[in-house]
Structure 1
């Protein structure tokens, strides 16, 4: 639906206190708002922190499941990385999230991945893609808006992994930059912006081992009539700063030049209103079906301190499905 229809439909849901699901793509060209039952009828299944329209299907982990990456061509990544780094050195950007699709060898369908994955934000979209995201974009509760930018990742099995992550100068700079960006974004729609938690650590378990990731919590106070203007509020914040960069507009232009593919729903946002709270995730950790092939889309933040081989390895390390 177009933006006007999306605005009218979300306003209707909110004013009537009716739960609904919604999704917006990275380019902000496609947006959908549906009741949970309407979404299920269209084969759109979600589970956001237990609020779900999906059947309660328990799938036992299978050691024979194959989801192996076919590594992205190194020279293709190097060309994009060099283009980004040249722009950073020229002062056109100081943080850019560079992403690429990685082809998968697999023996499972998207629905099985949806059932197996353990993540706070899960989505199966019309058998076109599955998303199992750990990252909150924004949450709105009791007239306050919260954001949880996630920047900084390291394999948990490494010796002194936590210390390495927390003291890594590149990761510190990247995290500080995204916190500043999100603070500025929230100030467009809210007042009294406060960083309530800074650089805390979560551990994510995967089939190939654990990952440590750092996040922060940022809070702002919304005007009392925010429900009348929810869609306009949301579009002011998009795309999410953590998967674009800073300064946002120029960085997005560089992303398009470097990646040379349309992200679509990958790195867009999706969420729900449960009747009390709005909870929105960033559409990362994402497998898309294109014809008869499956692609895992992943990426990482590039700064002037980034090293080509390290960033290439990070992109591949993020190709995983978090399981129980």
Structure 2
């Protein structure tokens, strides 16, 4: 994604904003001028995307934190994004920034403030941190499927990607009408909707925040009322309780709405001012965008969502906030579990793993080239920061080794939290047949240099193997093998830098044939005598060219049709 690109569902459908006319980083010095300009720009037909950090609330409520308040992006128009399915990402090492004991100590400090009457509720949050590999846009596409909400958004700001699947509306203003729909009250799906509807703690939390928001709206509105109270909404992993508060604006002013409402009381607690002072003292991390807001202003509407379930990615690291409302009735263990439940947003349905396919040699009763496979998977585990020792991998393999009956293909895999699995499959030898040609898009090196569950999976039906190549026609590898081309007595193979997996058998064959690494192209298939495919389980197969690639193959690029292949 280009810098300052936004893809969002805020207008009611998925749209893309790019190449902004103006970008304003907010501070205490330019706040009023920037927000007034944003309203003028939108009223003239433009679009303003706002990324407002929680720190803006500290400035508005307590006159603290005068810089890094957020960003306003100004666009003339939007387009329809081209979104295609993609899973080129991995999340590993998910962890809370606090230990359980540190969390409990913070809750104890908050409860002392509650008992002293300085606050009635504190929305306490902690940071969820993780390692991120691959393409942020792929993570966003995944969230569209697994965490669909009305406000899914991805934003590229300098070196940072923001990915939000927030379900919580901050406010929506159309003309002089405005409403807010805070979320307060949570339970697991297995606890059931009725549990949440009848739970006194969750009901008390919601009613308290409704009262706070009624007071905030009364600062800028007439006719403030609550048409919906204590409604329950179902999401992928939990139930949430919501209410709706409406009002009629005395003046249509973006700046005055933000001054009155920001930050939303559902993510601070009540009363807002004193509770935010407690939050600043007790919380151990800077909230950043978390519990701020992401919004879109157009000529007819201002719609802003609260930045919960919102991930910030930068330099291979990811983080998001997660928290819960603390009252005098709160049990620390239950609040801790609720925080963990909300962190499940970043868990991926499609489990990521690193794996090796290893031949079980039934005659020798051993795993072929075991040390080489263990070395490669250990390197991959280190790269993805997955905790697992080589000794544990060896022990697991040996303990589940197949019997002496026949050769097997054994899959050794390790998931993102270090759990080892061994699966045994029938051994399938190479089959004589055609070679297919398959164009592949450029992928992150993390998923070409390492053998993971993100590898391309092609059906070999009616084909011996596929040769993968780039749009420019550069040859890469086979779908389950490495590729060599033979020219007389000389062998050449594409270099790893082209974007391919350095297979175990590839290294062996390079030494045996004194093969050279060289960039190869589709045109080289016309000159080569044969293609050799190497795979550490199946071994090697040499297929004659042009016999194996047929002229009418649908995989054959147009540039080579009729060329004699």
Alignment-derived partner of residue 143 in structure 1: 176
Matches within 5 A, 1:1-324: 1=26, 2-28=30-56, 29=67, 30-36=69-75, 55-59=81-85, 66=91, 69-71=94-96, 72-117=98-143, 118-125=148-155, 126=157, 127-158=160-191, 161-205=192-236, 210-223=237-250, 225-226=251-252, 229-321=253-345
Secondary structure at the counterpart of residue 101 of structure 1:
strand
Change in Cα spacing, 1:256 to 1:73, as seen in structure 2 (3 Å) is: same
Deviations 1:40-92 (A, max 9, x none): xxxxxxxxxxxx76723133679x95466324411221121111111011101
Alignment partners' CA distance in 1, 2:40 and 2:199: 47
TM-score (normalizing by structure 2): 0.50
Q: How large is the Cα RMSD of the aligned pairs? A: 2.4
Q: Could you tell me how far apart the structure 2 residues matched to 1:70 and 1:54 are?
A: 36
Q: Partners in 2 of 1:61 and 1:151 — Cα distance?
A: 33
Residues 67, 292 of structure 1: CA spacing in aligned structure 2 closer, same or farther, 3 A cutoff?
closer
Aligned length: 301
Compared CA separation, residues 37 and 81, structure 1 to 2 (3 A): farther
Further displaced range: 234-243 or 289-298: 289-298
Residues 124, 325 of structure 2: 8 Å contact kept: yes
SS at match of 2:343: coil
Q: Return 5+ residue gaps in structure 1 as ranges.
A: 39-51
SS at match of 1:137: strand
TM-score relative to the length of structure 1: 0.85
**In structure 1, distance between residues paired with 2:285 and 2:80:** 31
CA displacement at 1:290 relative to structure 2:
5.0
**Matched residues in 2 for 1:143 and 1:204: separation?**
31
